[in-house]
Chains A and B, each alone.
Chain A
């Protein structure tokens, strides 16, 4: 039982941290550009992004399932019922949240910071870096919320992961299983572990939020 719990916990952390990091690696630069630049269609993209905050996890799971199932366009990669598939599904859910919240945080400080950086001699790259650093409280909060969405997610990972013991079972899918079996105490204990994991990751992110980047 203990080995099982450890595996489920570590896999949960691996899947959700990977999904959050990979989605944020794309979402933070995109959100920064969208917050900094004014271009035609920005409002439409903003509205679509905000709408996707509420993207149903089961639909995300279904889309990824159709994409990677043996009949799907990526079927040859053999990803179905693997942790990689679960990471992909969580990325779909995390990406719009981190993009949208980064965009809002950056646009709040963009004008003042951009002008300050430019008048002090920053080039475009240095200006973007300065803006991002000034918006870091909001950006790290965006990543925290994205991680929260990922670690608490069950619908999508059960569709593309299959809840296979020692292979794709994570804390949330294990809670579902144990509840169905009537093992409520064990299910509750898994819930406490899940919250502890979230608390630990948030604690690490909070430190970055306070420190910022020296430049």
Chain B
């Protein structure tokens, strides 16, 4: 099984309105790995994810997608963008029914066997029975599950998850976490998950990075980060003692 590095960010700096958010940050994720990026609110986790997706251009530094440098914003290589997906905290339902929402990325790529792929994707998030419903009528949990199906139906090699279960009930969290686990193993994908839900990071990630003060303070196997962290700031954060 391919365990090569799928994506690497090197020396990333990014600031807004003169305030630095990310400082010389480097991070990588490999195929078959689910990397959780944890850290307090406002520390730049979402900014990092948007840079990795090519939506936002860093002030300095580069992102390598399968060893090739990635362009940003309008210059982001379409081929690269079509091999990764970003699932945001508040997904936007297109003004279509659930089926057509999930079929949308396949139609963008003129792919074949759309019916089977959409049906499989919906089944993995237990939404097949809602296929004909308008996406705007879904509950927030159903909407996030539809968005997961839409983001994975074209089988991206890299999946970026931005607080993807925030404010959801336990049932929807469980369905989505199972779907992520299935996708990771079945497709040998590289997954980066940004979260401030430490229980979730501990539950489903294989490795964890602690982001603080614009840099990765510590990165290791999830078990080690949560049980034997080396940095005292990491320890304070995972134990809930860090006060902001």
Contact = CB atoms under 8 A, between A and B. Distances in A.
B92 A116 contact: yes
A130 B94 contact: yes
Contacts of B85: 119-120
A114 B210 CA distance: 31
Interface string B66-102: 0000000010101001100110100110111000100
Interface stretch (B104-112, B173-181, B196-204): B104-112
A215 B104 contact: yes
A112 B53 CA distance: 15
A44 to B, nearest CB: 24
B121 interface: no
Interface residues of B, number: 24
The bracket for how many chain A residues form the interface is 20 to 34
B150 interface: yes
A119 B53 contact: yes
A215 B96 CA distance: 10
Contacts of A214: 100
Contact of B108 (A112, A121, A212): A121
Interface string A126-163: 10001001101000000000000000000000000000
B128 interface: no
Nearest to B82: A121
Interface in B30-86: 53, 55, 74, 76, 78, 81-82, 85-86
Interface of B: 53, 55, 74, 76, 78, 81-82, 85-86, 88, 91-92, 94-96, 100, 104-105, 107-109, 150-151, 154
8 contacts: A115-B88, A115-B92, A116-B94, A119-B53, A119-B86, A119-B151, A120-B104, A214-B100
* 8 interchain residue pairs of minimum CB distance: A121-B82, A120-B105, A119-B86, A112-B92, A116-B92, A121-B108, A122-B108, A123-B78
